[in-house]
Every structure is written in C-alpha cells, then in structure tokens.
C-alpha cells in the first residue's frame, strides 16, 4: 500500500460496521482495514474511490483484467437501515473493461440485500486485489473468512452458483430455518433465520466478456463497467456474506420520525394510486417493461425500499427481472410471435432471466441487436458472409435465437468472440467503423450504448456522461422530459406547468444555480453557464448522495412531487431530505450542500485517476453523429418536450427535436466546466490548488510525478 490517506479527524457515530475486508486473491489471504480511515468519504463510490487510490499501486492501467486492478464493493451507512429507498444498494468501483478508448476507472451499482448482509456480517466494504491461482469463492460469515475452491462452480450460471453456495452454507441442512453461524468476538454461536447474500459471476464474466456483470440473487446486477470480466480474470466466482449483527443508528428516533414524515407526505395510496403523479419518491412504479405473463405476482423490493418495483410470479421464470433486460428483446419477440402478447411476454421474460443467469449486461443489445439485424439484411453478416455467423437471424425474436445470441456473447462463440469486446470494437474489426460515427450504432459516449435519452435533447444526461466515465444512468432531471411528454401525449394539461416546475427544481439546486435559467433546454441556452452549473450539481449529487450514500436512482432525487403540498420534492428538505437520513444514522450533522461538496471531492479524485490512466480533454467527445446529425426521432417520434423559455421570459414545454450539438460550443462549454470544477481547461486534469483545497495534496504530488499536473503560475 502506498500513499495512504490519513484522516485523523475521521470519526464514526453510527451507520458503519467499522471494518473493511481486503481479499488478497494472489495469496488467498485477507486483512482488515479500519473503516474510520475512509469514513469521511461517506460510503459507496467515494469510499471505494479513496480505497482504490490507496491500494491500487499502478493507477495507469487501462484494462481492468489485470492483477494490479483493485475492485471495491462498498456499502453506505444507510445500507441495512430503513432509510427510504437507501438501504439496499451496493456500489462497485475499480478499473473496468470494455469502454472506449480506455477501460476507465469506473463504477456500477446493484440492489437487493447484499450490502445489508455485508454490514450485518460486520463489514462496510470488500476490497479485491490480485488474482487467485485458481477459481475461488469466498465465504464471509461474521468475522470468519474462508476461501473455497470454485473449480466445481466454474461454468455454472448465476442461479445454480448461488443455490450451490447456499446449499454448502446450510450447515445443519434444515433448508434455512434457524441457522447456526460463528458469533462475533467472544460469542460462540449465533443463530439467524436469514439467508446468506451471494454476489457472483456467470459464464460471461468467466469468459471475460465486456457484457459480464455481477449478479446477486435473481435480478440484481452491476452491469456497466464489465466488472464480471474483471472478476473472471481474477478467478473470483463469488463472495457470500452472512451476518447476525446489526447497525448502530446514531439517532434512531430521528430516523423513524423522518421515515414517518416521508410516508405522511410522499407515500402513494396503494388503494387509490394517483397514476398521474409527478415525482420520484412517491410514484407507483413497476420496472418490468413487458405485459406480464401472469397476474399472480407479488412485489419484490430491495432492502428498505418504499415500493417494490420488481415481482415474483407463479410461472417459474422471470422472477425479479426488471428494467432494460425486459425491453430489449420484446419487439423482436413480438414479431416472431406474430404480435401475440402472451408469447411475446413469455419469451421476453425468459430471455431476461437468461441474461441474469449468464451474467450478461443486456444494455448493449438495446441498439446493438438492431445493428446486427441491419448487417444481416445487408448481407454483411451471415453464413459465409464477410462476417460469418451460424446464428440464424431469420429466427430473430424466437426464444432459441435469443438464447443462442446470449450464449455466443457469454461463451465467446461465433460472432460473440468479437462482440465480447464490445460493439464498437466489433464494428471496427468488421469494417463498419463508419457506423460508430454516423449513428447507425447509437453508442454516443465511451463506447457505451445510449440509454434511451438522446444527448442531443436531454443534454444534462449527455454532459453528465461524457464528463465522467460512462452512461451516467442517473434520472434526476429526466422526469422533466417524460412527465410533461406523457401528459401532452394523452391530451392532458401537464400536471405541473413549466414555469412552476423549473422554480421548484431550481430552488433545490441553489446555490449552484441562480434561478430557473439552468432548466431552459432551448438551443440558445444549453451551452450556458447555467446549464454548466446544473451539470456540476448533477455530477456532485450523483457522486455523493446517490452513489456514495446510495439513495436509489429510481426514487431520488425527488426534485418535485405532486404527492406533497406545493409539489415540493423531498430532496434537500430540512425534515425529509437526504441529509436528514444521513445524519440520523451517522450522527454527523452535515448539510445537504456538504454532501455535494463531498461529491465534488470524489469527482476530483476520480479525475486524478482518469488523468493517470491517460485521459485528456481531447478524448472527452461524443460520437460524431451527436454533432453532425439531427435527432432521427424526428422521423418517428412526434415530440420531445423539455422546459424552455422564450425571448419574453415565458416558460413552456417545447419540442427540442431536430437538433444536434455544436462541437465548438461544447468544447468551449467544457473549458468553463473544467475551470469551475478546479481542473485545467487545457488538459482536463485537476489542479494542485483544487486538490489541496480538499485535502488531496498527496494526489497532486502523484499527478506531478506522472507529469499530469499543470503547475499554476
């Protein structure tokens, strides 16, 4: 370990388990790190980034599949508590695999009960370094850490892997009734009715496909970043946590009171849900994007969530699948089924489940499959064609084709050998580089697929992605698009008029912004300082409150909410805001803005890592089509409403289709962004002044040693 950051003033009052587990795979040994050293980073993303800085001895690596890479799975003080929609997330950081042009130090995140169980076992994070000499899985039961040979699990899907581990850990074979487990400290044996929480990889990770993700239980996956491939390289099949402990809450009554306040003001009426509600925290929402093949289901939620967004069914498949994995194949399945919605749903749910079992991040298929189909129709791809495949694209939409495609990617077979390196690299190899530039492949930033919100319209999403390391996948502002757009589509007046909603949101963003101008998405304003400062708030919020404190992206930020008086959202609220829950659990007494400042500090440290990896502002650019082609939704999508302000200062929801970004204006916007964030506009690297201002002088020293510091005059 080099350059350890010392934090003599760090203190812990509540929320933390107190220690961090370092798994040294190369020697199949472990050590304990005191959490106190890292507590000032909060948890999750910040804590993990700080640990990476200290424990990764070569931060110039650009492919996470190496012994030097350090991966951290980190909880937050809120994990395992009943802070609303903040108890169940787990953050993953480290150098990833599959991004373009470099495998950045990056992040991912998953839900469920893994982070809770990690803390119940007494650990705030697990640090993974080195490479095991053979496949292993790690059993953590309270303080006991055991490395097991995983050669018998290698090749198994994530479901069978977890079931095998659970069976192994069922010490008395009672099928998870009362279960004995080694107690903590001087306690001999303790008992629990809980089950261990396992995070593992499937074949996609084992075979080091960039699609490889980490999977926990049935439907929780850390997809972006290719961390499954990183685990696969490191011969790490799974880590299980099983604990009988609890979490000390600094002010339990404050936590309970705030939780009741949230229920009082924001909770949906499940008997009479307001289906036209605007807001994140109080919405009724299921994250399965296909008509369900069964009406017999029950909600399934992450630990501490206020609303289960997933389901379990009586049909034997599709349990807990959610979000994009339930939409990417649906259209093709419907086509193959002749439009029969039941068959379409059955195939879609089974394919979604198979993605999780193989440990595949399905997002690249969102646009990638459409592109493959194009190549097949053009005669570029097919049996005996320029790009040979035995996959029968004539059967696209069938269950068999979907499975064959997923297996190709997971096992690096057929075209999967190339696709496992990512669609962009495959396109270049196949002589289709132009498709990466002209929008035939909708991968606008870092070789990652467009999320479904085009950067040319939803600029804060695009700016937030390109100024970081990946598709930001953070929904703070994007209800400002789909809420009014849906209301207008259905002929309703927008539930909150544009003039009101921009005021509500802008108040939440103070003092980063000065009034609602930051929410003017008109062509004339998107390169303004106001939007630049909104983007800064966006990144700082997501870095700390979302990815470090681990408030769920599908509930927070709550910037406006029609369930509450005055349509005021819960974010930053003095009685129910994020900081209220943080302080109740930790006893720290920080403000909401303090959290944003921590987000900025985390972002600076990450920029230092990216600089060491080789990042330069000249690399921070969208795919060409974002600058050169107007949005093609204009051909099929009728409108794309965002708040806009006219020349008289009047607000309305306006269609912002028919535009592309201006390369020169964005480059100039970047310069202002870098300067505002404490980075050198000529390079994009953090300045010594900015780093020292947040206690990271030793980081500046490291940058200097690598020639990555523009010394101020």
Partner 1 sequence: MAPTRDEAKHLLRELPYEAWLKVGYMFPPKGISRRKAGSLRELMWTLQPSAKSLPTVRLEVVARWLREKVGDAELAMRIEAIHTGEGSYAEKCYLAYQAIKARHDELAALAQGGDDA
Binding residues for partner 1, rule: CB under 8 A, are 288-291, 323-324, 327-328, 331, 334-335, 338-339, 341, 366-367, 370, 373-374, 377-378, 442, 451-454, 475, 478-479, 482, 485-486, 488-492, 554, 632-639
Give me 382's structure tokens. 């097919």
Q: Least separation, in Å, of the C-beta of 596 and partner 1?
A: 23
DSSP codes, 319-377: TT--GGGGTTTHHHHHHHTTT-HHHHHHHHHHHHHHHHHHTB--TTHHHHHHHHHHHHH
Nearer to partner 1, 213 or 696 (CB): 213
Nearer to partner 1, 260 or 276 (CB): 276
Write down the residue that tokens 């399934």 correspond to: 300
73: helix, strand or coil? strand
Q: Least separation, in Å, of the C-beta of 712 and partner 1?
A: 42
Nearer to partner 1, 68 or 633 (CB): 633
Nearer to partner 1, 442 or 691 (CB): 442
Nearest to 478 by CA among 455, 503, 509: 455
Q: Provide the Cα torsion 498, 499, 502, 506; round to 10°.
A: 180
Angle between helices 158-169 and 341-358 (to 10 degrees): 60
Q: Least separation, in Å, of the C-beta of 554 and partner 1?
A: 7
Nearer to partner 1, 12 or 396 (CB): 396
Q: Least separation, in Å, of the C-beta of 473 and partner 1?
A: 10
**Cβ-count burial of 384 within 10 angstroms (0-12 exposed, 13-18 middle, 19+ buried)?**
exposed
Q: Least separation, in Å, of the C-beta of 337 and partner 1?
A: 9
Nearer to partner 1, 315 or 488 (CB): 488
Q: Least separation, in Å, of the C-beta of 489 and partner 1?
A: 4
Nearer to partner 1, 139 or 458 (CB): 458
Produce one character per residue of 589-619: b if its CB has 16 or more CB atoms within 10 Å, e if not: ebebeebbebbbbbbbbbbbbbbbbebebee
Whether the ω angle into residue 529 lies within 30 degrees of 0, i.e. cis, is no
Do β-strands 297-300 and 136-141 pair in parallel, antiparallel, or remain unpaired? unpaired
Using alpha carbons, list the distances in angstroms from residue 481 to 34, 276, 364, 639, 642: 44, 14, 23, 10, 5
Do β-strands 179-182 and 189-192 pair in parallel, antiparallel, or remain unpaired? antiparallel
d(CA 69, CA 48): 13
Nearest to 90 by CA among 52, 51, 119: 119
Q: Least separation, in Å, of the C-beta of 409 and partner 1?
A: 19
Question: What is the rounded end-to-end Cα distance, in angstroms, of the chain?
Answer: 33
Nearer to partner 1, 300 or 579 (CB): 300
Q: Least separation, in Å, of the C-beta of 367 and partner 1?
A: 7
d(CA 134, CA 68): 17
Q: Least separation, in Å, of the C-beta of 331 and partner 1?
A: 4
Nearest to 129 by CA among 241, 29, 4: 29
Q: Within 13 Å and on the Cβ side, how many CA atoms surround 658?
A: 5
Nearer to partner 1, 7 or 289 (CB): 289
Q: Least separation, in Å, of the C-beta of 509 and partner 1?
A: 20
For Cα atoms 294, 299, 300, give the angle at the middle one, nearest 5 degrees: 115
Q: Least separation, in Å, of the C-beta of 623 and partner 1?
A: 15
Nearer to partner 1, 515 or 638 (CB): 638
Nearer to partner 1, 297 or 475 (CB): 475
Give me 93's structure tokens. 């950081």
Nearer to partner 1, 88 or 455 (CB): 455
DSSP secondary structure letter of residue 519: G
Give me 189's structure tokens. 């044996």
Using alpha carbons, list the distances in angstroms from residue 375 to 321, 381, 444, 452: 29, 5, 20, 22
d(CA 199, CA 588): 31
**Residue 30: what are its φ and ψ, rounded to 5°?**
-145, 160
**Residue 342: what are its φ and ψ, rounded to 5°?**
-70, -50
Produce one character per residue of 50-82: b if its CB has 16 or more CB atoms within 10 Å, e if not: bbbbbbbeebebbbbbbeebbbbbbbbbbbbbb
Q: Least separation, in Å, of the C-beta of 335 and partner 1?
A: 6
Q: Least separation, in Å, of the C-beta of 321 and partner 1?
A: 13
Nearer to partner 1, 99 or 348 (CB): 348
Nearer to partner 1, 178 or 636 (CB): 636
d(CA 175, CA 167): 8
79: helix, strand or coil? coil
Write down the residue that tokens 């003599």 correspond to: 8
Nearer to partner 1, 331 or 503 (CB): 331
Nearer to partner 1, 67 or 632 (CB): 632
d(CA 515, CA 343): 50
Q: Least separation, in Å, of the C-beta of 355 and partner 1?
A: 15
Q: Least separation, in Å, of the C-beta of 243 and partner 1?
A: 33
Nearer to partner 1, 327 or 567 (CB): 327
Q: Least separation, in Å, of the C-beta of 422 and partner 1?
A: 20
CB atoms inside a 10 Å sphere around CB 530: 21
Q: Least separation, in Å, of the C-beta of 479 and partner 1?
A: 7
């Amino acid at each position: 370990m080099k350059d350890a950051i010392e934090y003599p003033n760090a203190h812990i009052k509540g929320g933390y388990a107190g220690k961090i587990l370092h798994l040294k795979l190369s020697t199949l040994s472990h050590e304990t790190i005191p959490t106190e050293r890292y507590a000032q980073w909060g948890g999750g993303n910040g804590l993990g980034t700080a640990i990476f800085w200290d424990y990764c001895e070569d931060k110039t690596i650009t492919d996470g599949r190496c012994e030097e890479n350090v991966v951290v799975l980190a909880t937050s003080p809120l994990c395992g508590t009943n802070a609303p929609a903040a108890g169940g997330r787990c953050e993953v950081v480290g150098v990833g695999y599959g991004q373009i042009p470099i495998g950045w130090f990056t992040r991912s995140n998953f839900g469920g009960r893994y982070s809770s169980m990690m803390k119940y076992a007494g650990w705030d994070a697990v640090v993974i370094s080195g490479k095991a000499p053979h496949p292993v899985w790690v059993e953590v039961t309270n303080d006991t850490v055991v490395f097991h040979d995983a050669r018998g699990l290698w090749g198994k899907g994530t479901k069978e892997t977890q079931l095998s581990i659970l069976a192994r850990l069922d010490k008395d074979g009672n099928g998870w009734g009362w279960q004995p487990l080694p107690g903590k400290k001087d306690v001999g044996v303790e008992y629990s009715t809980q089950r261990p929480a396992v995070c593992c990889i499937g074949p996609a990770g084992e075979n080091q496909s960039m699609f490889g993700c980490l999977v926990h239980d049935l439907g929780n996956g850390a997809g972006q970043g290719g961390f499954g491939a990183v685990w696969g390289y490191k011969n790490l099949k799974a880590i299980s946590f099983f604990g009988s402990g609890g979490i000390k809450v600094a002010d339990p009554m404050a936590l309970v009171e705030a939780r009741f306040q949230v229920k009082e003001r924001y909770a949906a009426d499940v008997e009479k849900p307001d289906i036209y509600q605007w807001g994140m925290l109080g919405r009724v929402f299921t994250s399965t994007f296909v008509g369900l093949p069964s009406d017999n289901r029950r909600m399934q939620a992450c630990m501490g969530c206020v609303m289960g967004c997933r389901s379990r069914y009586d049909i034997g498949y599709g349990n807990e699948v959610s979000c994009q994995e339930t939409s990417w194949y649906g259209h093709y399945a419907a086509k193959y089924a002749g439009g029969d919605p039941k068959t379409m749903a059955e195939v879609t749910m089974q394919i979604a489940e198979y993605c999780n079992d193989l440990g595949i991040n399905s997002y690249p298929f969102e646009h990638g499959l459409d592109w493959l189909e194009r190549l097949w129709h053009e005669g570029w791809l097919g049996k005996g064609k320029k790009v040979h495949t035995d996959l029968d694209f004539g059967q696209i939409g069938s269950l068999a084709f979907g499975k064959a495609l997923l297996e190709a990617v997971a096992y690096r077979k057929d075209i999967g050998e190339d696709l496992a390196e990512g669609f962009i690299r495959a396109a270049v190899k196949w002589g289709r580089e132009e498709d990466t530039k002209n929008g035939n492949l909708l991968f606008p930033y870092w070789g990652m697929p467009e999320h479904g919100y085009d950067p040319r319209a939803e600029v804060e999403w695009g700016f937030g992605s390109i100024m970081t390391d990946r598709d930001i996948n953070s929904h703070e502002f994007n209800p400002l698009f789909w809420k009014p757009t849906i209301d207008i589509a259905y002929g309703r007046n927008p539930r909150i008029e544009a003039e009101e909603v921009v005021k509500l949101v802008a108040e939440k963003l103070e003092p980063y912004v000065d009034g609602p101008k930051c929410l003017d998405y008109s062509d004339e304003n998107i390169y303004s300082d106001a939007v630049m400062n909104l983007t800064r708030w966006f990144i700082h919020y997501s870095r700390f409150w979302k990815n470090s404190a681990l408030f769920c992206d599908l509930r927070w930020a709550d910037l406006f909410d029609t369930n509450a008086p005055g349509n005021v959202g819960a974010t930053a609220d003095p009685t129910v805001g994020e900081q209220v829950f943080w302080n109740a659990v930790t006893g720290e007494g920080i403000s909401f803005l303090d959290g944003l400042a921590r987000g900025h500090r985390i972002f600076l440290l990450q920029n230092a890592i990216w600089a060491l990896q080789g990042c330069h502002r000249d690399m921070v650019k969208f795919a060409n089509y974002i600058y050169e082609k107007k949005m093609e939704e204009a051909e099929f999508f009728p409108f794309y409403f965002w708040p806009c302000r006219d020349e008289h200062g009047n607000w309305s929801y306006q269609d912002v289709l028919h535009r592309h970004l201006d390369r020169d204006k964005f480059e100039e916007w970047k310069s202002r962004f870098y300067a505002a964030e404490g980075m050198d506009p000529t390079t994009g690297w953090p300045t010594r002044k900015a780093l020292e201002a947040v206690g990271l002088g030793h980081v500046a020293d490291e940058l200097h040693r690598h020639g990555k510091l523009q010394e101020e005059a």
